[in-house]
Chain A
C-alpha cells in the first residue's frame, strides 16, 4: 500500500465521520413512505389463499362463488398464471451450477408441500371483500403423508417431497487427512449441535403496490432487498424483461427475508389481470406462517487438538432442513461448508454437508446465511478443548487463529488483514473485572466466540454493481444507484463516499436509489455486499468525475492539475486560488466535458471451484470478529441472562462509525435472540408460532447494551479499504452464551435456543432430567 492506514484516516474529511443519516431525518418525522403506505386512485387490495395442510393433493378448486362476490375484481389460481414457475436460484447467477438452480410453483398446481403455500390470489375493492372472497374459494385437499424431520426425509422409504428425491444438495471439503489426524490427536472432542428454525421478524411485514404505467410497463413498488426481481415478474407474466419495473422504497427491515420474491409476482399478476393498481400487505401472522426462514442445522463435529491446544483436525457432518422448496438452500449450505472450520488454521478438515427437503416451512436467506450457524459448532468445540486442556479461552484461539496468507480448507488464501486474535483479545479484555452475582442463587460465567463471514458474493457469480454520479450546475451532487436500503445506511454511505471523492459536504449530495428503470443496477442488498459493491461503484464514478473536474479547474486556476484539490464545494490551488465547484461545472458544460459518470465495479471473479479438491478462491474476502459475554444463570430456574456483551469486528475502515456500531449492536442482539429465545415451532408441518406473542424476539429488557469495538485495520476490499459488516455480528452471540453458561454452571448446552428449561434439565433440576 502506498499510504499507511493512519495517513489515510488523516486525509479523509467525510468518510470516517459519525454523520447523522439523511434517511433518519425523514424517518423520525414519519415522512418515509414504506411499501404499505403507498396509495393510488382506484387501488384494489390483494390477498393470498394459503394451504392449511403441509402435504396434500389439490383435487378441486372452485372459485366461482368468490369471483361472483360483489367487489371482487380477480380470482387467480395456478391455471391463470402464464408461466407458473418462479426460479428462486441466486439472482444474477452467471454459471450454471447444478445445485444452485431452484424453482417453486407460483401458485400450487395440484400439490401443496408446506402449510401456508399459496394456492390462489384475490384482488377486490377492499381488504374485507378480499378476505370474504378467500373464504368463498372452495378447495378440496387430499391430505398426504409428509416428512417433517431430516432424519425421516433421508429414510429410503420416505415420501418424496419432490420427484427427484429428498436430498437437495450436497457439498464436500477434503483438506489433509482428517481421520488420521484425529486418531493421532492428543485431545478429541465430539459433539452434535442443533440450531433451530427462526424468522427474520423485521417490523415491517411484506407489502407492495403494483400498477400498469402509462407506457404499459408493469411497475411494482415493494419492500424488497432485490429490485432485480423485475425479471422474475416478467418471466411469470410472459413479458419482456424491459416491460417490468421494480421500485424499492426504504425497507422496514430485511435481514434476508426480503431477498427472495415475496409479494412482487402476486402483485404483478393481479395488476396485469385487472389493469388496476393493486396493493398487497401481508399480516404478521401470514409473514410468520408462509415466508422462508433460517435453516435449522444438525452439526456433528469431531475435533482434534495437540497437547498445547493447537487445532489439528475437524471431521464435520452438516445436515440442513431446506423445508419444502429449495430457494437458496444449496447456496446457504455452501456458505456453511466453506466456513465450518471457523477462523482457524486447521490442517486436516473433512466436511460433508447436505440439505434435505421436508414438508416444513421453506428455508432460505437470513443474515449470516449458513456461516452463522457454524459458529455454534466450531466455537463450542474449541471452548471444550480449552476446558479439557486447562487453557485460557483467548490463548487457545490465538494459537490457531488465521493470519494473512493462511488458506481456508477450501484452498482460498486470505489476502487481506485477518484480525481474529486481536478481536478475541480486545473483546475479552473489555469485559473487565468480573462482577458479583446479583443473588446467592445466581452464578456468573463468561464466554468468547470468534467468527468469519464472507462479504460479497461467490466469485463465480462474477458480481458487479454500477452507479451514476453527476454534478448539477450549482455544484450539488446526484448519485443514482439501484441499491435497496434496508435500514443499514446503504444509501447514506454512498453520499458520504461521493462527498469524500468530490470534496463537498454530504448534505450537498442527493441519492436516488432502487428503481430498476431509472437507477443503474447495483445488485442485491444481501451477502454483506452493498457498501462493498455499490460503494466501490460510486467511488469509481466519483473518482472519474473528480479527475475531469479537477482538470477543468486547473485550466480555470491556470495551475498544474496536481496542485488542484476539491474541497468545501470548491477547487483550490493553495490558500489563495479558489474557484467554486458550480463555476467549474459551468466551464465543463462550455467545454463539453462530461459532468457525470457511470461507475461499474467488478468484484474478483473466478470459475466454479471444486471445494473437495481445494480449488481456491470462493469469496472475495471475509470479515473477522469476536464477541465476549458475561452471563448470569439462575440456578433454580435455569434462566440465563446476558449482563455484558462486547462485540469486536475489523471493518477495515468505518465509512460511518455510527452506522457500523448500529450494525454491530443490532446484529449482536439478533444473535442473542437466536441464542436465547427465538424458535419457530413446527409440529408435523404445522407452525405453532405464527404470532408475535408466541414467536419471541428480544425486547429492550431482555438484552444488555452491546459495547462495540471497531477495529479499522485499513485493509479490505471495499471503498477506502472498508469490509462489510451487515451480517458478521449475528454469528458469535449464541456460541458465546453457550460457552459462558458452561463457565457459570458447568453444563454444555448444544441445542439452540438455550432456554431456561434446557439449562434446568442439564442441571438435573427436573425429575426426568
Chain B
C-alpha cells in the first residue's frame, strides 16, 4: 500500500534539520536509513505530516575517536559496522553484532542512529550500547545533551528523545584491549529480529574476571543489564562450568512477556542459555587475548 501523503524536507545542515524538528514538533519524523520507518509509513502504522530526511547531513556519518571511546555518527550504516570500516575496527564487537542485523539489504541502508532511536526491544545495537555502558548524543535547536543508554531506553519503541530532538551519535566506551566479547542470538528464522540475544563483554585479570557485562535483547520493553550476575562473576576464576553455575544459581533479573514468537517462560529460559553461552565465549576470547 502506498504511504499516506506527507510533506518532505531534506535539509542540508544539521541546524536546518533541528529547526524543522522544533517547528513541527510531533508532526515530524526524522528519516535515517528508513529500514524501520518506511515500512511503518507504507503499512500506515505511522502517519507523520512531515518527514525530515537526514540523508544530506554528512556530519552525522563521521566516526571519531575520543579518549577511551568511539563516537559513531547516527547515519553510519550497519554495513560499515559489519565490515569494521576505519576506526570502527577498534570495536570488533560491532562487527559481530551488525552481521546479525536483518538481511544484507537492511544492513546496506540501516543506520546506527536509526536502530537505536527506533528502540525495538529485540534489536541488537541497543543491547550492544547497553553492554558497553554507552551513551547517546541528542541535539535540538536548544543544544546538546548526552544520555546514558540505561536512561535512554524508556519503553517499547520509546526513548528519552524529546520532541524536536535528534539522536546525532552514539558513544561507545572501548573495552580494555584484552577484553573478550560475544553476541549470542536466537531467532526463529535466520536474519530475523532476535527472540532473545545476549551481548557479553568480559575483562580478565590474572585468570579471574575483572569485569563482566551482559546485556539482553528480547526479554522486556528495553534492553536489560544483568547487574547482579555481573557482580557475582567478579573475581570468579573461569574453570569449566563456573559461568554456567553462576548463571544457574540465581534467577536472571528480567521480566519478559510472551508474544507470538515465544512465551515469557521460554524467553526466560533462552536468556539464561544465551547469557551463559555469550559469557563463556567472551571469557574464552579474553583468555586467548591474554596469551
Residues of the B chain whose Cβ atoms lie less than 8 Å from the Cβ of A131? 1-2
Residue contacts A-B, CB under 8 angstroms, 22 given: A285-B1, A637-B186, A637-B270, A637-B273, A677-B189, A681-B260, A688-B260, A691-B43, A693-B193, A694-B260, A696-B189, A699-B189, A699-B190, A699-B191, A700-B190, A701-B191, A702-B189, A756-B266, A757-B263, A766-B263, A766-B266, A766-B269
Compute how far the CA of A693 lies from the CA of B189 in the bound complex, rounded to whole angstroms: 10
**Chain A positions within 8 Å of B265 at CB level:** 766-768
Would you call A512 an interface residue if the criterion is a C-beta within 8 Å of the partner chain's C-beta atoms? no
Is A487 an interface residue, CB under 8 A from the partner?
Answer: no
CA distance A623 to B191 in the complex (A): 36
B99 on interface, CB distance cutoff 8 Å:
no
Q: Which residues of B contact A755 (CB under 8 A)?
A: 188
B interface with A by C-beta (< 8 Å): 1-2, 5, 43, 186, 188-193, 260, 262-263, 265-266, 269-270, 273, 277
A698–B260 contact, CB under 8 A? no
- A696 touches which one: B1, B188, B269, B273 (CB < 8 A)? B188
Contact call A701/B188, Cβ cutoff below 8 A: no
A756 shortest CB reach to chain B, Å: 8
**What residues of chain B lie closer than 8 Å to A700, measured between beta carbons?**
190
A765 interface residue (CB < 8 Å to B): yes
Given A131-B2, A760-B269, A765-B269: A701 touches B190 (CB 8 Å cut-off): yes
Contacts of B266 in A (CB 8 A): 756-757, 760-761, 766
Cα distance A166–B277 when bound, in Å?
A: 51
| B192 / chain A contacts, CB cutoff of 8 Å | 693, 696
A128 within 8 A of B: yes
Q: Do residues B190 and A702 form an inter-chain contact, with CB atoms below 8 A?
A: yes
Give how many A residues have a beta carbon under 8 Å from the other chain's beta carbons. Answer: 30
By a CB distance below 8 angstroms, the chain A residues around B188 are 677, 696, 755-756
Query: In the bound complex, how far is the Cα of B119 from the Cα of A386, in angstroms?
Result: 51
Interface residues of A in 637-692 (CB under 8 A from B): 637, 639, 677, 681, 688-689, 691
Q: What is the predominant secondary structure among interface residues of chain B facing chain A?
A: loop
Binary contact readout A396-414 vs B (1 if CB under 8 angstroms, 0 otherwise): 0000000000000000000
Q: Complex Cα distance A189/B191, Å?
A: 40
> Count of A-B contacts with CB under 8 A?
54
The answer to whether A387 has its CB under 8 Å from any CB of chain B is no
**In-complex Cβ contact of B43 among A285, A681, A699, A768 (8 A):** A285
Question: Which A residues lie at the B interface, using CB under 8 A?
Answer: 127-128, 131, 283, 285, 636-637, 639, 677, 681, 688-689, 691, 693-694, 696, 698-702, 755-757, 760-761, 765-768
Kindly provide the distance from the CB of B198 to the nearest chain A CB, expressed in whole angstroms.
12
By a CB distance below 8 angstroms, the chain B residues around A698 are 189
Closest chain A residue, CB of each to CB of B276: A636
For B190, list chain A residues within 8 Å (CB): 699-702
Residue of A nearest to B261 (CB): A694
Residue among B1, B190, B192, B277 with most chain A CB within 10 A:
B1
A689 near B186 with CB under 8 A, answer no
Q: What residues of A have a CB within 8 angstroms of the CB of B273 in the complex?
A: 636-637
Q: In the complex, what's the smallest C-beta–C-beta distance from A443 to chain B, in angstroms?
A: 15
Q: Give Cα distance in the complex from A233 to B31, angstroms.
A: 45
Rounded to whole Å, the gap between the CB of B9 and the closest CB of chain A is 21
Residues on B with C-beta less than 8 A from A766 are 263, 265-266, 269
Q: How far is the CA of A689 from the CA of B189 in the complex (A)?
A: 15
> Distance (Å) between the CB of A446 and the closest chain B CB?
23
Q: A637-B270, A701-B190, A767-B265 are in contact. Are A128 and B5 (CB under 8 A)?
A: yes
Closest to A128 in B: B2
Q: Report yes or no: A127 in contact with B2, Cβ–Cβ below 8 A.
A: yes
Closest residue of chain B to A673 (Cβ to Cβ) is B189
Shortest Cβ-Cβ A-B pairs, 3 listed: A701-B190, A757-B266, A636-B273
Minimal beta-carbon separation of B284 from chain A (angstroms):
14
Q: Smallest CB–CB gap between B12 and chain A, Å?
A: 29
Bound Cα distance A641, B112 (Å):
32
B185 to chain A, nearest CB (A): 11
Measured between C-beta atoms, what is the minimum distance from A627 to chain B in Å? 22
Residues of A within 8 A of B270 (CB): 637
Chain A residue nearest to B265 in the complex (CB): A766
Distance, CA A131 to CA B44, complexed state (A): 11
